[in-house]
Chains A and B, each alone.
Chain A
Amino acid sequence: MSSTFLLGAANGVQWGDTIFYLVLFIVLMALLKHFAWGPVSEMMDKRADKISGDLDSAESARKKAEDLATQRQDALKDSHFEASKIIERAKKNGEQQKATIVSDAQERAQTLKVNAKEDISRERQDALDSVKNDVAELSIEIASKIIRKDLDANDQKALIDSYIEGLGKQNEAK
């Protein structure tokens, strides 16, 4: 190993420096790749991927939310429409029901009235009939007692009829 110290001015070209710097630079580059550049740029790539992935997923989530919102809006609109339809139908039903109930009631009242009138007239008739009979018998008895003359029941009846008719006419005239 021949090594000499040359102090003083540079003597010729120190071409060893080129080799030294080449080796130094390559070693430095290898060390940096292993300890600094490699891990950091890997992490940077990972972060870039993550960010772009996050952006994508955010975009899709936003789209989904928008779809949901429009769906809900549509449903709301539909439900409004349906509700108004239901109310309308209910109103119509109510109206109809009201009409039928009223007409039923009127009919019932009518029939009741008619029945009542019929009943009344029949009762009156019955009452008149019974009164006629009673009056006939009574008058016969009274007459027979008073004039002691047997009157034919039929003649008597005819007599009383004419009398009562006269009464009825007087009543009606009133």
Chain B
Amino acid sequence: MNEGAYVQELFGIPFNLSNDIPGLIAAAVVFFLLFWLSRNIQLRPNKRQNFIEWIIDFTNGIIKGIMPDEEGKKFGLLAFTLFVFIFISNQLGLMLQLTANGTSYISSPTSSAMTTLSLAFMVLMLAHFLGVKKFGFKGYFKNTYLSPIPFLFPLSVLEEFTNFLTLALRLYGNIYSGEVLLKLIYKFATSFGIASFIPAVPLELIWQGFSVFIGSIQAYVFVTLTMVYISQKVEKE
């Protein structure tokens, strides 16, 4: 975000390619990784299958803690895809940063507010849509805005916006700040020659490790909150 964005208009719609290219790369990595992991599926799992089943069990476990089983089964794929995609997106910028001529080409897609806002917008729209689909518009309105007490209506409306913003900006803030610090350490490493390069290496290493941890936690939090918001919409309180 600090560097110049590579914006291109297509059919009059502005696309920020320095945001879209890493998203595409992350999606490709996710797909090929999982495609590779899920070859040769057997009743007795091999090592690769064990790994993908472990991820699936993990995301199913997130849902299980939030929704009843028969309701939660429908969201297994959503939680799985969301988790893996955000996780890989968070890690992408830690391994690969490409900036040329002041234009950023590759970084974490989730270090852009546009990406996280898009994802949050998508899952919250899905939650509202599912609420309307399940209870009808009247039931959805009553369930979401008028319960438990009708006079909290303004707060309930406000809550929907804060949900959206916090969900998106939490992820964005964590990843963006991580990348900013990575770049700062890089600048420090190159600013005083060998004298700053040597101490910067372990610093960068430590911060990268910590960012891997943050990225995993944030992916988990994002999926968990997504499922909480969906369950709020599809279940009567």
Measuring CB to CB, which residues of chain A are less than 8 angstroms from any residue of chain B? 1-22, 24-25, 27-29, 31-33, 35-37, 39-41, 43-44, 46-47, 50
Asked if A21 and B23 make an inter-chain contact with CB atoms under 8 angstroms apart, the answer reads yes
Instruction: Choose among A8, A25, A35, A46 the residue that contacts B38 (Cβ–Cβ < 8 A).
Output: A35
Q: Per-residue CB proximity of B140-158 to A under 8 Å, as 1/0?
A: 0000000000000000000
In chain B, what residue has the closest Cβ to A4? B9
Interface residues of B, count at CB 8 A: 52
Instruction: Choose among A10, A21, A32 the residue that contacts B118 (Cβ–Cβ < 8 A).
Output: A21
Asked if A7 and B4 make an inter-chain contact with CB atoms under 8 angstroms apart, the answer reads yes
Q: How far is the CA of A35 from the CA of B38 in the complex (A)?
A: 7
In chain A, what residue has the closest Cβ to B114? A17
Shortest distance in angstroms between B230's beta carbon and chain A's nearest beta carbon? 15
Asked if A18 and B7 make an inter-chain contact with CB atoms under 8 angstroms apart, the answer reads no
**How many A-B residue contacts, CB cutoff 8 Å?**
136
B contact residues around A28 at 8 Å (CB):
27, 30-31, 81, 85
In chain A, what residue has the closest Cβ to B15? A16
A contact residues around B200 at 8 Å (CB):
none
Q: How far is the CA of A13 from the CA of B37 in the complex (A)?
A: 38
Asked if A18 and B30 make an inter-chain contact with CB atoms under 8 angstroms apart, the answer reads no
Asked if A35 and B35 make an inter-chain contact with CB atoms under 8 angstroms apart, the answer reads yes
Is B217 positioned at the interface, with any CB of A under 8 Å from its CB? Answer: no
Given A8-B4, A17-B15, A20-B15, A32 and B77 touching (CB < 8 A)?
yes
Q: How far is the CA of A17 from the CA of B114 in the complex (A)?
A: 7
B contact residues around A41 at 8 Å (CB):
56, 76
A contact residues around B103 at 8 Å (CB):
7
Asked if A14 and B119 make an inter-chain contact with CB atoms under 8 angstroms apart, the answer reads no
Q: How far is the CA of A148 from the CA of B211 in the complex (A)?
A: 174
Given A14-B19, A20-B15, A36 and B24 touching (CB < 8 A)?
no
Q: How far is the CA of A41 from the CA of B52 in the complex (A)?
A: 10
B contact residues around A37 at 8 Å (CB):
56, 76-77, 80-81
Instruction: Choose among A3, A29, A50 the residue that contacts B9 (Cβ–Cβ < 8 A).
Output: A3
Asked if A36 and B122 make an inter-chain contact with CB atoms under 8 angstroms apart, the answer reads no
B contact residues around A43 at 8 Å (CB):
41-43, 45, 49
Q: How far is the CA of A36 from the CA of B30 in the complex (A)?
A: 11
Asked if A21 and B122 make an inter-chain contact with CB atoms under 8 angstroms apart, the answer reads yes
Q: Which 3 A-B pairs have the closest CB atoms?
A: A14-B16, A16-B15, A36-B38
A contact residues around B23 at 8 Å (CB):
20-21, 24
Shortest distance in angstroms between A26's beta carbon and chain B's nearest beta carbon? 9
Shortest distance in angstroms between B78's beta carbon and chain A's nearest beta carbon? 7
Instruction: Choose among B13, B19, B112, B118 the residue that contacts A22 (Cβ–Cβ < 8 A).
Output: B118
Instruction: Choose among B12, B15, B38 the residue that contacts A14 (Cβ–Cβ < 8 A).
Output: B15
Known contacts A17-B112, A25-B119, A35-B35; 17 additional CB pairs below 8 A are A2-B12, A15-B13, A16-B9, A16-B13, A17-B114, A18-B114, A19-B13, A21-B119, A24-B27, A25-B81, A25-B82, A27-B27, A28-B81, A29-B77, A29-B81, A35-B38, A40-B53
Q: How far is the CA of A164 from the CA of B4 in the complex (A)?
A: 174
Is B214 positioned at the interface, with any CB of A under 8 Å from its CB? Answer: no
Q: How far is the CA of A22 from the CA of B82 in the complex (A)?
A: 12
